[in-house]
Amino acid sequence: MRRKSVPKELSLKPKKDFTAARKNDGVGPIALSLSSSRGKNPVFRLGQKMVLFIETSRDSYLYCFYRQANGKVMKIFPNRHHKSARIVGSTLRSIPGKSMKFDWVIEPPLGAELVKCYAFDRNVSADLPKAIRDLDFQTLPYRSLDGITRAFRQIKNAAIAENSMVVNVEK
């Protein structure tokens, strides 16, 4: 495919990169990789289905969030369809996966959005703020991912790694 063959109204890469929210990506003792059913720099249109692919270098406890273009943040993993944060290392996990009875259908708002995942070396569920522990697929009381990152980085005696992926949503 040549760049010239792509219509001007379509993007090849997301337009916003969330530099500040991604400053700790790739830092930490656990390698954490993210991709989607449309690659590492996905562009989705409204109504399309998205699958997130995650892999860690070792057994971990995973927490993933989605920040919409309007600033709303929600937890997407663990969730009511997969309650445990524990995942097996060196194994590709998908969200939604086979045991998760939902489709991730892209809906408004349009714009640049961000998937942010954190991997811990131990179970930290008892150390999490109540809203993060209890709510999934609902707007969390955070206007950005910075508050979640701060809360996670304050957890004692836990190694943490993070990674994120920009998702551009178009009409």
Token pair recorded at residue 163:
């990674």
Rounded-to-5 percentages of helix, strand, coil across the chain? 15, 35, 55
Q: Which helix (H) or strand (E) holds 138?
A: none
Query: Domain for residue 129, yes or no?
Result: yes
Residue with tokens 């005696």: 157
Domain contains 2: no
Alpha-carbon distances of 26 from 3, 76, 96, 161, rounded to whole Å: 29, 20, 23, 7
In a domain, 1, yes or no: no
Asked if the structure places residue 120 within a domain, the reply is yes
Report if residue 5 sits inside a domain.
no
pLDDT of residue 99: 81
Nearest C-alpha neighbor of 63 from the set 131, 109, 112, 110: 131
Residue 5 clears pLDDT 70, i.e. is over it: no
Bridge-based pairing of strands 43-45 and 111-120 is unpaired
pLDDT digits (tens, 9 = 90+) for 132-162: 999 999 999 987 899 999 999 999 999 999 9
In the structure, what pLDDT confidence band is assigned to residue 22 with cuts at 50, 70 and 90? Answer: confident
141, part of any domain: yes
Whichever domain contains 75, its CATH number is 2.60.40.2550
The SS3 call for residue 67 is: strand
Beta bridge partners of 12: none
Model confidence pLDDT, tens digit, residues 44-58: 999 999 999 999 999
Question: Per the structure, how many domains does the chain have?
Answer: 1
Model confidence at 4, pLDDT cuts 50, 70, 90, reads low
Using DSSP, state whether 149 is helix, strand or coil.
helix
* 166 in any annotated domain: yes
Domain that includes residue 66, residue range: 16-170
Contact 163, 35 (CB under 8 A): no
How far is the C-alpha of 170 from the C-alpha of 115, rounded, in Å?
A: 16
Tokens of residue 161, six digits: 């790694």
At residue 10, the pLDDT reads 57
Residues 22 and 24: their CA atoms lie apart, in Å, by 6
33, 62 Cβ separation under 8 angstroms: no
pLDDT at 64: 97
Torsion angle (degrees, nearest 10) of CA 29, 31, 32, 37: 180
Residue 13 has pLDDT above 70, yes or no: no
pLDDT of residue 148: 94
Residue 11 is assigned to a structural domain of this protein: no
Share of residues in the chain with pLDDT > 90 (%): 75
- Pairwise pLDDT comparison (2 vs 80), residue with the higher score: 80
